[in-house]
Amino acid sequence: MKKNILILLLSALFTFPAFADIVIVGNPSLPDGLTKKDAKKIFLGKKNKFIQGDLYVIELISSNPMKAKFHKKVTKKSLAQLESYWSKQLFTGKATPPVEVANANTVKATISQHANGISYMDEADVDSSVKILFKP
C-alpha cells in the first residue's frame, strides 16, 4: 500500500508543468529598484514611465499559462478580470493594453529591441539578454 502511494506521489510530481519562479525582466540597461507596487501599476497601465522614460510593456498571450500565474501573483486579477479591466481602460481612453507575445523567446527578442522593454517570464528562461528586475 505504501509503495502504491509513493508511486502515485512521484508520478504526480512529474506530470505537473515545471515552473520555476516567475520573475519580472527588462532590458539590461534598465536600473534596479522595481518594487511589487511598481510592478502592479506597470502591468495595469497605471505607471508607464520608469527612470529612463516611457516603458514598453510586453505581456504573454492569454493561452500561455504563465500569464494567469503572473497576474494572480502580481496584479491579483484573474484573466477574465484582466480582460474586463483592459476593456474598460481602452473604452475610457485611460490606457491601452500592453503588446502581447506568445512565449519567453519572443519576450527576450522584443526586450532586446526596446531599451525600456519590461515583461515577465519563468526564471528558468532568463539569460543574458534580459535582466531580472524583480522577483514577486
* pLDDT for position 49: 85
CA atoms within a 13 Å half-sphere pointing along the CA-CB vector of 122: 13
Q: Which positions ≥6 away from 100 have C-beta within 8 Å?
A: 58, 59, 60, 61, 62
Identify residue 45 by its one-letter amino acid code: G
Res 125 pLDDT > 80: yes
Identify residue 18 by its one-letter amino acid code: A
Bridge partner list, 59: 100
- How far, in Å, are 34, 55, 101, 106, 121 from residue 66 at the CA level? 20, 21, 12, 14, 7
Q: Which positions ≥6 away from 32 have C-beta within 8 Å?
A: 133
* pLDDT for position 107: 97
Res 15 pLDDT > 50: no
Q: Is the pTM of this model over 0.85?
A: no
- What is the pLDDT confidence band of residue 122, given thresholds at 50, 70 and 90? very high
Strand ranges for 70-111 from DSSP E: 99-101
* Strands 56-60 and 49-50, bridge-based pairing: unpaired
* pLDDT for position 42: 95
- Tens of pLDDT, residue by residue over 36-84, are 999 999 999 999 887 778 999 999 999 999 999 999 999 999 999 999 9
Q: Average model confidence (pLDDT) for the chain?
A: 88
